[in-house]
Homo-oligomer: A and B are copies of this chain.
Amino acid sequence: MALIVQKFGGSSLASAEHIRSVAKIVAQARQKGHRVAVVVSAMGGETDRLLDLAGEITPAQPERELDALLATGEQASAALLAIALQNIDIPARSYLGLQLPLLTDGQHTRAHIIKLSTAELKKTLEQEIVPVVAGFQGVSPGGDITTLGRGGSDTSAVALAAALQAHCCEIHSDVDGVYTADPAICPQARHLRRISYGEMLEMADMGAKILQIRSVELARKFKVPLLIKSSFGSDKCTWILEEDKRDMESAVISGIIISHNEAKMSVIRVPDRPGIAYQILSPLAEAGINVDMIIQNASIDGYTDFTFTVPKAELSTTTALVNEVIPKIGARALSTDDGIVKVSAVGLGIKNRPGVAARMFQVLADEGINIQMISTSDIRLSCIIEAKYGELAVRVLHDAFDLEINNNLNAIKQQKLDPPM
């Protein structure tokens, strides 16, 4: 008998019928002899409904009240799921963050967890009652409701699994796992049965949109095995686990990811003096704008072009900030481009195989795709290219790194590596 934390996302809880289905998933885990603690998101669409309501009152909402408002979504779905569980004779009790309590640092709308008290939860579990915890929410040291940011229920679930020393944390949504590429773009995309925390962090960051990135960081820190599952009837799933030395020997690349969230900005003809990068970027840092890639061209005649990427949603804010800087530093102009995508190859093998980058550039060149910017990490290689080539790039890279062919080999290997369930 193991203790399992099951987290259900909004799409899994979008209606009364969905909630009844989720109750059956919990029942199945119990029938296998497991104890189950559940964490829920708000019902699909509910958070947006509440945000719309607040938006109709004023566009500038005080964060303390926004947190109190949004927390109702998870409270309602926790109560509804507890009702659905009891309806099929599974004892259940809903809990608010305030009731556990899940103590946070008090930063409204983006709080971090300080401490999760497990006394009440353990008592409930020992009585064979399923605790159904409202995700996303906690309480500040002063007793205010705080939320963990969009997707925060994933982080709540991992925190619960860590605090209860659960066997694993299952993340149920409408996604049945991680693929070597987006199947909608690349029909050959292969489902991965396991992936390392590190790879998942790089992939989630690229917009894989499977779970909140912070939850993967937390899972890695506390060594909580994560399982990505669909609540819509697929038997596939992906384990997110620690790196395994044996992984190094097989797949170099685990997946090809495309991100449409980037915009490129070039400050043209900047006088090439020390401190220019600081002058351009520090106002953005102060405004909380996350600059990803940065390139400074070689200087010609004492002038250079300074290029960087920011999230597309921040394009207009960034444009305003940079336009203020331009006259001060004596640059000529700002050019912006949101017609770009970032295509990335992610894999543990990258760090040990120097040829991987060269292969990536060659494959893109063979298709006549111009690489505008490049960035790398130990386990990631990313290229900014023109948006219209994005899908093509994913397909040719997927093919070039033999991601489809690894299928059988990996399936056998992974079977052996799966955690005991």
Interface residue ranges, A against B (CB under 8 Å): 15-17, 19-20, 50, 53-54, 56-58, 60-62, 64-66, 68-69, 71-73, 75-76, 78-80, 82-84, 86-87, 92-94, 96, 98-99, 120, 143, 145
Contacts and interface: CB of A to CB of B under 8 A. Distances in A.
A384 B60 CA distance: 56
A53 B94 contact: no
B78 A75 contact: no
The 5 closest A-B pairs by CB, nearest first: A16-B56, A69-B79, A72-B72, A58-B87, A68-B79
Contacts of A54: 79-80, 83
A167 to B, nearest CB: 27
B83 A66 contact: yes
A64 B99 CA distance: 14
Nearest to A93: B64
B53 A80 contact: yes
A364 to B, nearest CB: 49
Contact of A75 (B58, B62, B72, B79): B72
24 contacts: A15-B56, A16-B57, A50-B76, A53-B80, A54-B83, A57-B84, A60-B87, A62-B82, A62-B86, A64-B82, A64-B93, A65-B79, A65-B80, A65-B92, A66-B79, A66-B83, A68-B78, A68-B94, A69-B76, A69-B79, A69-B80, A69-B83, A72-B73, A98-B98
A78 to B, nearest CB: 7
A15 to B, nearest CB: 8
B83 A143 contact: no
A61 B79 CA distance: 10
Given A54-B80, A83-B61, A143-B99, A71 B66 contact: no
A54 B19 CA distance: 10
Contacts of A86: 62, 65
A87 B57 contact: yes
Contacts of A56: 15-17
A69 B80 CA distance: 7
